[in-house]
Structures are given as structure tokens and as C-alpha cells.
Structure 1
Amino acid sequence: MSSKKSQVWTHFSEETGNKVKCLYCGQLLSVKNKSTSTLIRHIKLKHPTQPMIRHMVADEHPVEGGSSAVSQQLPQPREAPSTSSISGTKQPQASTFSRASKNPTITSYFHKPLTIISKQKEIDRQLICMITKEYHPFSIVEDKEFKHLLYLLNPNYKLPTRKTVSKSMIPAIYNETIDLVKRRLDRAFAVCLTTDGWTSRTNDSFYSVTAHYIAETENNILLSSDLLGCIYYRERHTAENISSKLRELIDDWQLTNKVAAIISDNAANIKATIRIGGWRFWGCFAHSLNLVTRSGLNEIKEVVDKIKNISSYFKRSSHAYSQLKASAERMDIPPLKLINDVATRWNSTYDMINRVLQMKNAIISTLSILNTSRRNEQDESEIDQLDNEEWLIAEQAIKVLDIFYLVTMAISSEKHVSASPIIFYYKQITKHLNSINLDTIMPQIENMIKKT
């Protein structure tokens, strides 16, 4: 199957022998003597939304002045040299005039469709990767400027329609990806699973399961993390129900005898789920760090709440934020945006405190001006400033939490082994906490260290 000129081949992948596989439904078809009639009939009957041939219209992208982009590329005729201008010079040979007088045919000015099928499939695949991985809407293929950009990059390529992208191309690549992951998991010796559950803002429950394993390819051996399922869950969150659903997913991926351990948070129903299923449980170290640091931050809750109120105030008030930027510029401080924390991520609290400390002088100046203005306007609402002692507590807290932040970032990785260094991280945290002189810190920070 070396010379494939028909575009119908773009819908199939080559298998062993004289068979090809449909990229949309996975059906194997025989192609003896390179005949495409069977393939064309299959696409028309089974996948009617998939266009057979993508035609390229030459004047599809007009330019200014009403002329097409193709017409702008037509060469301008040159005036023939006068006899006086060439008098006394050697006359060109007749063959030269005959070659110059030959006008190109009209078809030479039209772009031919892509003849290399692999190139067209490569562009199609990259288009789908861009849409899925970067979370672009399907309608991007209908955007005028996006069309024009691709036309300038490759005039021979015709964008597929929105319906083709959603109904044919994405399902085809999805099926290819499923087959690839199954083949890699089949070669894996052992697999670790991570699972977590959450509830959306609309009160819908989901459970996700991700497989982590050493993947062997033809050219490389690498750590791989593949999402096996993000399941919409309607039943009660009992250990028996979750265990049954997890068992079903493991069986579907043929991992029954390969699960070395399941890592999750320390929720009671999840721990019972793994125990009922007979799997080995390993608590998430990052989640444990989150619980420890949250417990320590409770010792300086009043300071954290004040910092959060300050950050929220500058987030919701455009006037206050503009005043803060002006103050920062006057003090030669980089005008950084303040950060609000998230309850489920302790390191966001670290980021929030650290950012306020970076903008400390600008914040003190701005709040003083704004609060004075409010008092002049007899407005009783004021944003509480941090006093000197509270600023000191925040600075000392950041120094204590630095090591926790670094460890959290280090273990939140999918491309590096994170289980084996846990003992090393634990010892480094302990060493850091023991190195702090308790006589030089505030009582609240001392209590925070004891809690962590």
C-alpha cells in the first residue's frame, strides 16, 4: 500500500496483511489490490457525516480591494523592450523569446490539494490536540481569523467543519488513545492507582481514577500517568458502592492482578472501600501535609483572616487596586496582584501570605490613605490594618512554612518518582523545625511549630 492517492485512506489505519482499520468504529476491512470501493462504501454507510474529499476554493479568503488572495499572486505583465532600447546590442536568440513568450496556464495559479495523505492526517491530528488539550471550543474551526491564519500557513489545507471535528475526528482519536493506553497497560508489570472524589457546584458527584506505571515503548522507558475514568456517581457514597464501581473499572482495563497499591486521601469511606476490595492502601502524603499545615495555621487564624480580608478587598474594588498599583510604583515595588487562598490547598494560603508580605509597604500606605478618606466621608466601614506584631507573625510563619511548600511542590509531580523520597522529605522537615530557635519567635509561631 505504498501509493495511496485517494483521500479515503485518511479515514483508515494500515493493519497487517491486506486489512485496514476504520479510525471511527475500529472495523477491519479487506483492501485487496488496493481497491478503495469497499472503504468508500463503508464511510458512506457507517459515517455519513465524514466528508470524503475536502475541496479547496481558491478565492475563499478575500483580501482588501475585493480581489482574492490567489489573484494577488498573479505576476504583473512586463512591457516588451522597444527596438531603440536594444539597438546596437546583440539580439537574444529566438529560443529565448519563445520561452519568455509562453504564458503559464490558469491552473498553475490555483493551489492543488494536499497530495501527501500523511501530511494532511498530521495537521488534522494536531488540530484535534490543540482543541482538546488547550480546551478550545469546537467553533474555533469556524472563526474567520483562525481560518485565515491556517490559510497563510498552508493554503492547501482545508479546515474540517465543526460537525466533523465533534462527530468523527475526536471520537476517532479517542479510540486510538484508548487502544494505545490498553497496549501500554498490558505490557506494564505493576500499576499504582490514585483516586479522588468531589462534588461540583451543581451538586453532581464524580470519582476519578488515574493509573501510574512504567511504560515501555519501542524507543524509550518512561513514567506514565493516564486517567482511566472520571465517573459521574449517582449512588450513595458508601464503601460497598464505591468499591463495586472501582472493581468494575479495574476489570474493564484488565488490571485485576496488577494493582500494587491505591493512593487516596484519608477519608473513612475511601479507606474502607480499598479494604473491602482487598487492595493495599497508601495515604496521600500531600494530603497529610495539607492537614498538618492547616492545623498549624489555625494557631495564627486571626492574622490569616486579616490578610484574607485585605486580599479580598483589593480583589473586589477596582478603585482600591488602582491606588495600590500607584503606591507600588511610587515605592519602586513590582505591582503584583494579590492572591486569595483556597480551602482545599494549603499552599494557596502560603502564596496569599507571601504575596501580601511582598507588597507590605504599598498595602500599608494605600490602606492608610483609603481609611483616612473614609473617615472624612464619615464612613464607618474600614479595612483592618495589621499591626507591627501581626506583620512579624506573618513573616515568621512564612519562614516556618517554606519547607512544607517546597516539599508539597516536589511531590506534586507525575513525571518523577515521588514515593521513595518521602522518608527524606520527612527528615528534612523535622530538621528544619528543630533548627528554629524558639526563644526568638512569637508565642503563636511556637504553638504552630508544635502543632506541625
Structure 2
Amino acid sequence: MVITGHWIDSSWKLQKRVLSLVHIPPPRRGVEISDAIFKCLKEWGIENKIFTISMDNASNNDVAIRLLKDTFSMSKNLVCAGKLFHVRCCAHILNLMVQDGLSQIVDITNNIRESVEFVNRSDGRLLLFADIVQQLRLPGRKLIYDCRTRWNSTFEMLSCAIKFKEVFPRFWDREPHYNCCPSEED
């Protein structure tokens, strides 16, 4: 677990530092997460200066937040009675929303992903694909893979693939083993 501190310095500039890297062996229960965070804050001497904590939406993190909030509430150090203490990770929430949207076109993204993997699996296929791209005078020559759990990576793969929408059917005509050609509608 990485514990990162964010604060505004005396010049009103936002600062960010990694405070600790903590190994928490499985099972990673909320109590262990809470204890590790509190220990780090004590070591830095900032346990009385915490305004908010941001974590993703895992249930063990919810338990950790509840335990930390209880601990900080005892010393009455929480601003706004702790109403702002737990700030959900916006990047995690955004990723969940986009993944939900991508689930509506899962067949299309899987087809594109299979096409990218098929083309990139051999040098001969890569060369054939690049030749077709060159014949069509398209910019770029290479498809990119995505990381399935990162929506922005899938977006980049799809954005790249759409530039080659005229190439896929021509590649299909020339490559007998290619069976995942995206349709015009895809």
C-alpha cells in the first residue's frame, strides 16, 4: 500500500509526497489497513493534521476509514465533524463508470482487441498490415494493445484502430486465418 500526503505549503503551492510503502499481507482487512495508515501518520507526526483520506471503494477500505474516523473523532481533530473525512477516489469512480459504459460494446472491443492481437502476433502479419496502410497512404503503421482494466488504454486502442478501419477488410482479403475483422458498423 502506498500512503501519499498532499498539502498546501506556505507559498500556497500544492505539494505531494510518498510518505510510506507498506506491505500488508493477505487477507488485507480494514483493521490492518487502518493500523498501517495510523502508524505512518504517527511516524511523520501528522496524526493531528489530517483533513481527508481518499481511497477506492473496496469494502476493506470502508472499514479502515470507519476505524480511522473513530480514532480521530476521539481527539476531536476532524474538520466539519468528519463529514469530509472520506473522499472517494474520483479516478476509481470514473473508471467504474467508463467500464460500465464499455460493457455495452464489449463485443466490439473484444473484436478489435482480437484483431490487434492477431496482427501483432507475427512479423509477417505486421508487415502485411503495414503494406496495406502504406498503400492507402494512412498515417502511422501500427496497432496498439490495451490494458483491459484501464479504460484510457482501451480508448487509445480503439482510437488507434479506427484510423485503420479501411485496412481491416483489405487485411481480411489477404490473410486466410484472420476471422475477427470488425464490420463497418463496428
State the TM bucket, normalised to the shorter chain: 0.7 to 0.9
How far off its partner does 1:341 sit?
1.7
How far off its partner does 1:389 sit?
2.2
3-state DSSP of counterpart to 2:166: helix
Choose which of 303, 310, 325 in structure 1 pairs with 2:130: 325
Unaligned runs of 5+ in 2: 73-84
Q: Which residue of 1 aligns with 2:117?
A: 312
Choose which of 154, 164, 179 in structure 2 pairs with 1:359: 164
| In 2, Cα distance between equivalents of 1:282 and 1:236 | 24
* Structure with higher RCO (Cα < 8 A, 6+ apart): 2
Compared with structure 1, are the counterparts of its residues 382 and 325 closer, same or farther at alpha carbon in structure 2 (3 Å cutoff)?
closer
Q: Which residue of 1 aligns with 2:61?
A: 270
| In 1, Cα distance between equivalents of 2:178 and 2:142 | 21
Q: TM-score of the superposition, structure 2-length normalised?
A: 0.86
Whether 2:51 is the aligned partner of 1:246: answer: no
Q: Which residue of 2 aligns with 1:335?
A: 140
Q: Which residue of 2 aligns with 1:376?
A: none
3-state DSSP of counterpart to 2:8: strand
Q: Which residue of 1 aligns with 2:9?
A: 215
5 Å-filtered alignment, 1:21-420, equals: 207-216=1-10, 220-234=11-25, 236-278=27-69, 280-371=85-176, 381-390=177-186
Compared with structure 1, are the counterparts of its residues 355 and 239 closer, same or farther at alpha carbon in structure 2 (3 Å cutoff)?
same
How far off its partner does 1:317 sit?
1.6
3-state DSSP of counterpart to 1:389: coil
| In 1, Cα distance between equivalents of 2:120 and 2:104 | 26
Q: Which residue of 1 aligns with 2:81?
A: none
Identity of aligned residues (%): 25
Does the aligned pair in 2 maintain the 1:209–1:227 contact within 8 Å?
yes
Q: TM-score of the superposition, structure 1-length normalised?
A: 0.37
Does the aligned pair in 2 maintain the 1:235–1:241 contact within 8 Å?
no
| In 2, Cα distance between equivalents of 1:364 and 1:230 | 49
Provide Cα deviations, 1:247-273, integer angstroms capped at 9, x if missing partner: 101111111111111111111101110
Does the aligned pair in 1 maintain the 2:55–2:88 contact within 8 Å?
yes
Opposite residue 386 of structure 1, the aligned amino acid is P
| In 2, Cα distance between equivalents of 1:235 and 1:250 | 22
Does the aligned pair in 1 maintain the 2:24–2:32 contact within 8 Å?
no
Opposite residue 140 of structure 2, the aligned amino acid is P
Runs of 4+ in structure 1 displaced over 6 angstroms? none
3-state DSSP of counterpart to 2:117: helix
Unaligned runs of 5+ in 1: 1-206, 372-380, 391-452
Does the aligned pair in 1 maintain the 2:4–2:19 contact within 8 Å?
yes
Does the aligned pair in 1 maintain the 2:95–2:151 contact within 8 Å?
yes
RMSD (CA atoms): 1.6
Q: Aligned residue pairs: how many?
A: 172
